[in-house]
C-alpha cells in the first residue's frame, strides 16, 4: 500500500518533471524563433490622430533611431486617416491604409535624417495633419 503510493508519487513526479522539461523546451524554442526573425527589433514610433475628429495628429514631432522603424498609427477618430512617411523631398517610404478605428502599422528602414509624415486624405495635410520625424544615428 505504502509502496504503491510511493510509486504513484514517483510516477507523478516523473511526469511533472517531464512536462516541465517540455514546457521549458517549448518556451525557449518559441521565444527563440521570433527573436531570430526580428534580429534587430524595430524602433516603434507611435502616431495618433486627434480622437475627436480634428484634422490633426496628437503630436507633430517624433524622434527615433536609425535602422528598422515601425510606424504605428492609431486612429480612434470617426474620420478616416492614414500616415504616409516620406523624405523631405517627397519620396514616399511607406504608408498605412486609410482607415478609422484601431491601429495599423508599417516598417521601414531609415537612415539618420529628417522625414515627414502626413495624412493623404484630400485636404487633411493642408489642414495640419503632418509632422516631422527625426532619425538619429
Ligand atoms: Cu486625415
Compute, in angstroms, the gap from residue 88 CA to the centroid of ligand 1: 19
Nearby residues for ligand 1 (ion, Cβ within 5 Å): 81, 119, 121, 124, 129
Residues 15 and 58 in one domain: no
Q: What's the number of domains the chain is made of?
A: 2
Q: Per-residue pLDDT tens for 79-128?
A: 999 999 999 999 999 999 999 999 999 999 999 999 999 999 999 999 99
Per-residue cell: 49: 490622430
Q: Does one domain contain both 59 and 111?
A: yes
| pTM of the predicted structure, to 2 decimals | 0.72
The domain in which residue 67 lies consists of 43-136
Q: Report percent pLDDT > 70 for the chain.
A: 72
Q: Are 130 and 93 in the same domain?
A: yes
Give distance in angstroms: CA of 112 to centre of ligand 1.
27
Kindly state the cell numbers that stand for 102: 484601431
Task: Give residue 40's pLDDT.
Answer: 73
3-class SS of residue 135: strand
Residue 82 Cα to ligand 1 middle (Å): 6
Same domain (yes/no): 3, 47:
no
On whether both 79 and 62 belong to a single domain, the answer is yes
List, for residues 9-19, the tens digit of each pLDDT value: 454 444 444 44
Neighbour tally for 135: CB within 10 Å: 19
The verdict on 49 and 80 lying in the same domain is yes
Amino acid at each position: 500500500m505504502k509502496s504503491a503510493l510511493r510509486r504513484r508519487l514517483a510516477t507523478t513526479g516523473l511526469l511533472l518533471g517531464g512536462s516541465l522539461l517540455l514546457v521549458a523546451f517549448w518556451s525557449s524554442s518559441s521565444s527563440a524563433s521570433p527573436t531570430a526573425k526580428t534580429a534587430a527589433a524595430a524602433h516603434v514610433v507611435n502616431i495618433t490622430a486627434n480622437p475627436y475628429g480634428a484634422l490633426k495628429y496628437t503630436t507633430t514631432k517624433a524622434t527615433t533611431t536609425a535602422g528598422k522603424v515601425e510606424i504605428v498609427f492609431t486612429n480612434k477618430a470617426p474620420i478616416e486617416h492614414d500616415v504616409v512617411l516620406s523624405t523631405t523631398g517627397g519620396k514616399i517610404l511607406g504608408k498605412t491604409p486609410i482607415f478609422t478605428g484601431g491601429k495599423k502599422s508599417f516598417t521601414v528602414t531609415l537612415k539618420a535624417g529628417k522625414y515627414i509624415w502626413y495624412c493623404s486624405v484630400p485636404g487633411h495635410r493642408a489642414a495640419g495633419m503632418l509632422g516631422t520625424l527625426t532619425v538619429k544615428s
